[in-house]
Amino acid sequence: MQVMKHLFKSRGIDISGYSESFMMRAIKKRVGRTYSPDHPGYLKLLIHSEEETNQLLGTLSINVTEFFRDRGAFESFEKEAIRPLLESKAQNGALLRIWSAGCATGQETYTIAMCLAEEMKHLEPGKRPLASVLGTDISELALVKAESGIYKREEVKGIPEKLLNLYFVRKGHAYEAAPSLTKYVRFARENLLEKPGSKFFDAIVCRNVLIYFSRKMHEVVVQNLYESLRKDGYLMLGRTETLMGAPRSAYEVVDLENRILRKL
Ligand SMILES: C[S@@+](CC[C@H](N)C(=O)[O-])C[C@H]1O[C@@H](n2cnc3c(N)ncnc32)[C@H](O)[C@@H]1O
């Protein structure tokens, strides 16, 4: 199918595992929304428009996300990665840098920032290092929402009440990330299939992104993540994800269930 070929060629995303009826429903919806005359007309638009490609991926639910997705994974990441990193940064006064790669609408990035802010409290105020969490995604539409830091009531349900009260400000029926959280966070557009713009991250969280790539593209992303991480840095994947194409000697396992690895 042409749409599938386009997503594969332009984004390296392999949707051949999706059911045909599901895909056809998504395409039909986009044909209607874009007022395209027919399928070939829509295909023409899709091929020439990055934004329409993002919209279609959104309709296919490829940027579905939530706060504290797999709660235990973030508990482990906080304890196994953020805590030791903060302790060592507190000693040498260096900046702590975390990358949330494929962050969709930002919930993962703010989740990491909440874990970071909570861990900071264990350090004396004068010893707290500077820290930043960079959220990146290929979808500009998703990033606009991430940057706003505003989420609906039903979207914040994964945030423990105590953290919601501490790090979000209620605005009518919505919640906005407070400065105590946004001070750590920034967002940028980045394509994981291209050479990374930034290197030497202390930790990278790349969850539920690799699953969409074809084997070849998966390997490209795995290599890019490896190059972006500093030695001894941590990498967390989604619970069902594995690293294809990385040599066994590249990482040691810190937490197998939560896919937390450490670069050797
Ligand atoms: C299912 S979401 C995962 C969001 C979040 N990491 C989580 O686990 O909840 C996958 C995200 O990967 C992004 N993505 C897909 N291909 C990408 C690429 N080549 N470069 C960067 N981001 C990409 C999509 O736009 C989408 O927002």
- For the entire predicted model, the pTM comes to 0.90
Does the CB atom of residue 186 touch ligand 1 within 6 A?
no
Pick the last residue of a domain from 38, 59, 80. 59
Does the CB atom of residue 108 touch ligand 1 within 6 A?
yes
Assess whether 225 and 184 both reside in one domain.
Answer: yes
Assess whether 188 and 237 both reside in one domain.
Answer: yes
Assess whether 24 and 155 both reside in one domain.
Answer: no
Q: How far is the CA of 44 from the centre of ligand 1 (A)?
A: 24
Assess whether 180 and 85 both reside in one domain.
Answer: yes
207-236 pLDDT, tens per residue?
999 888 888 888 999 999 999 999 999 999
Does the CB atom of residue 63 touch ligand 1 within 6 A?
yes
Q: Are 194 and 164 in contact (CB under 8 A)?
A: no
Dihedral sign (CA 212, 216, 217, 220): positive
Does the CB atom of residue 14 touch ligand 1 within 6 A?
no
Residue 5 has pLDDT above 80, yes or no: yes
Assess whether 91 and 52 both reside in one domain.
Answer: no
- pLDDT band per the 50, 70, 90 thresholds, residue 17: low
Assess whether 136 and 22 both reside in one domain.
Answer: no
Atom of ligand 1 nearest to the CA of 64: 1
Q: Are 114 and 30 in contact (CB under 8 A)?
A: no
Placement of tokens 């490209």 in the chain: 220
The domain total for the chain is 2
Q: How many alpha carbons fall within 13 Å on the CB side of residue 111?
A: 29
Q: Answer whether residue 120 is part of any domain.
A: yes
For residue 79, what pLDDT is reported? Answer: 98
Residue 98 domain boundaries? 71-263
Assess whether 192 and 242 both reside in one domain.
Answer: yes
For residue 231, what pLDDT is reported? Answer: 96
Name the phi and psi angles at 5, rounded to 5. -60, -40
Q: Which long-range contacts (CB under 8 A, 24 or more apart) does 44-50 make?
A: 46/3, 46/6, 47/6, 47/10
Q: How far is the CA of 118 from the centre of ligand 1 (A)?
A: 26
145-187 pLDDT, tens per residue?
999 999 999 999 999 999 999 999 999 999 999 999 999 999 9
Report d(CA 4, CA 93) in Å as an integer: 49
84-95 pLDDT, tens per residue?
999 999 999 899
Cα–Cα distance list, 184 to 132, 193, 197, 223, 232 (Å): 5, 26, 19, 27, 22
- pLDDT band per the 50, 70, 90 thresholds, residue 100: very high
For residue 162, what pLDDT is reported? Answer: 97
CATH of the domain at 110: 3.40.50.150
Q: How far is the CA of 123 from the centre of ligand 1 (A)?
A: 33
Q: How far is the CA of 60 from the centre of ligand 1 (A)?
A: 12
21-31 pLDDT, tens per residue?
778 888 999 99
For residue 94, what pLDDT is reported? Answer: 93
